[in-house]
Amino acid sequence: MKHFVCKGGCGGVSEVEGFCEADGCPNQWQPFEECDCEDGKHFMEGNESADSKITVKDSNGNELKDGDSVVLIKDLPLRGSSAVYKRGTKVSNIKLTDNPEEIDCRIEGSAIVLRTEFLKKV
Ligand SMILES: [Zn+2]
Ligand SMILES: [Zn+2]
């Protein structure tokens, strides 16, 4: 069903065409944009934010977000060293990257990139 959303970030949604009236919205008094999404995510043309397009998933298909904690589901050898990150190692405060198959994180103070297929959200 067609609806109209504010692109100013206020989250305004209307069933009829109109203007955003939210105080403090950068798009206040700007016309709503037409949208006909069914998932409520209001995909909007011209919205090039990578965050809204890429969905990063762990090995179980659960969505991962910045700041999530994950555990390794596999022993992962660290390239260029003899160290191995053990299965079950917990990693806090992950950061998404531009690549939906990889996340940035820190383990024992080292910045590393992990493949999401070896991770499980906790
Ligand atoms: Zn607005
Ligand atoms: Zn929508």
pLDDT for 83 equals 82
Give the closest ligand to the alpha carbon of residue 2. Answer: 2
Domain boundaries, the chain: 1-52, 54-121
What is the C-alpha R_g of the chain? 20
What pLDDT shows up at residue 50?
45
Cα(18) to centroid of ligand 1, in Å?
11
Q: With a threshold of 0.95, does the pTM exceed it?
A: no
Which of the ligands is closest to the CA of residue 15?
2
Fold classification of 54-121 (topology level): SH3 type barrels. (2.30.30)
> Ligand 1 mean position to 23 CA, how many Å?
8
- pLDDT per residue as tens, the chain (122 positions): 899 999 888 989 999 999 999 999 999 999 999 988 888 888 655 544 544 567 899 999 999 999 999 999 999 987 777 889 999 999 999 999 989 999 999 988 889 999 999 999 99
**Can you give the pLDDT at residue 45?**
55
